[in-house]
C-alpha cells in the first residue's frame, strides 16, 4: 500500500498578482513547501497538477460569472500557468495538466506530462503547445487514476488551490475512485464566501480533514 500527496493548481495565476488570484494563494505555496520538507518521508509519491488551457471554450469569458466561466487564466505556456516560485518542486514525482480544451476542475481529468516537460511551462517556438506539453496522442495519455493505481496508491492527501473548486472536485473524485482521502485544510486557499459549504460537501462525500 502506498500513499500520495496531490498538490492542486498552485500556479501564478491563482496567487496574488495573477489573473484569477485567490487570497492566500502565495502563502499556501510556501506552506506546502514547508510541509513537504517536514513530511515528505510520509509519502511514497507526490503529484502536482496545472490548469493548462489552450482553447477551453466557454470556460473563458469576457463577462465571467465566476462560477462556470472565468477570466482568462493559466494559458498553456505562459507565466500564469507556471507553478508559483514559492512551491518547492524537489519532491514532486509527476505533473498532470488539465483543461486543455474544456473546463477541468478535478486532478483526475489531468494527463501526465512527459518527464522532460518543464513545470514552469515554457512554450516551444512555433505557437501552440505540442506533445511535450502533455497534449500528445490520446493513446499515450496517462491519467492520474491510472498513475496512482500503477504505483499501488490507496490513500491520498490533497492540498492546493482552490478549496471550493479544484481541491473539492479532486477530493470527491478520489473518493469515488476508491481512495482514502484527506484534505489538509490549512494547506488550501478558497475563492468564495461559501467555503464551509464546500467543506461540508466534501465531508458528506467521505473526505477526511486534517
Q: What is the mean pLDDT of residues 109-118?
A: 84
Backbone angles phi, psi at 75, to 5 degrees: -70, 130
Catalytically annotated residue among 13, 98, 133, 164: 98
- At 125, the pLDDT band (50, 70, 90 cuts) reads very low
Give the domain CATH number at 105: 3.40.50.850
What is the reported pLDDT for 119?
Answer: 62
Sign, CA torsion 28/30/36/37: negative
Tell me the per-residue pLDDT of 72-86, one tens digit each, with 9 for 90 and over.
Answer: 999 999 999 999 999
Count of the separate structural domains present in the chain: 1
| Domain encompassing residue 191 | 2-209
**Which range (72-86, 119-133, 185-199) has the least confidence?**
119-133
**Which range (5-19, 25-39, 123-137, 140-154) has the least confidence?**
123-137
Assess contact for 199 and 158: CB atoms under 8 A. no
Grid coordinates in use for 45? 509519491
Catalytically annotated residue among 145, 166, 168, 173: 166
d(CA 152, CA 156): 11
Catalytic residue list contains 98: yes
Assess contact for 193 and 40: CB atoms under 8 A. no
d(CA 164, CA 162): 6
The CA–CA distances, whole Å, from 137 to 22, 133, 149, 200 equal 33, 11, 21, 39
Q: Is the pLDDT of residue 114 over 80?
A: yes
Catalytic residue list contains 166: yes
Tell me the per-residue pLDDT of 44-68, one tens digit each, with 9 for 90 and over.
Answer: 999 999 999 999 999 999 999 988 8
Amino acid at each position: 500500500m502506498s500513499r500520495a500527496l496531490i498538490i492542486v493548481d498552485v500556479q501564478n495565476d491563482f496567487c496574488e498578482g495573477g489573473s484569477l488570484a485567490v487570497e492566500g494563494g502565495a502563502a499556501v505555496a510556501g506552506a506546502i513547501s514547508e510541509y513537504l520538507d517536514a513530511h515528505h518521508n510520509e509519502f511514497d509519491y507526490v503529484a502536482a497538477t496545472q490548469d493548462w488551457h489552450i482553447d477551453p471554450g466557454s470556460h473563458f469569458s469576457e463577462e465571467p460569472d465566476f462560477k462556470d466561466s472565468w477570466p482568462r487564466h493559466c494559458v498553456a505556456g505562459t507565466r500564469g500557468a507556471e507553478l508559483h516560485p514559492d512551491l518547492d518542486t524537489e519532491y514532486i514525482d509527476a505533473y498532470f495538466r488539465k483543461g486543455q480544451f474544456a473546463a477541468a476542475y478535478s486532478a483526475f481529468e489531468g494527463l501526465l506530462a512527459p518527464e522532460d516537460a518543464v513545470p514552469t511551462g515554457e512554450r516551444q517556438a512555433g505557437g501552440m503547445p505540442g506533445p511535450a506539453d502533455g497534449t500528445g496522442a490520446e493513446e499515450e495519455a496517462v491519467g492520474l487514476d491510472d498513475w496512482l493505481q500503477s504505483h499501488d496508491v490507496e490513500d491520498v492527501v490533497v492540498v492546493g488551490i482552490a478549496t471550493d473548486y479544484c481541491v473539492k472536485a479532486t477530493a470527491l473524485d478520489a473518493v469515488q475512485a476508491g481512495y482514502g482521502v484527506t484534505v489538509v485544510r490549512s494547506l488550501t486557499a478558497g475563492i468564495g464566501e461559501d467555503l464551509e459549504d464546500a467543506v461540508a460537501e466534501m465531508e458528506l462525500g467521505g473526505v477526511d480533514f486534517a
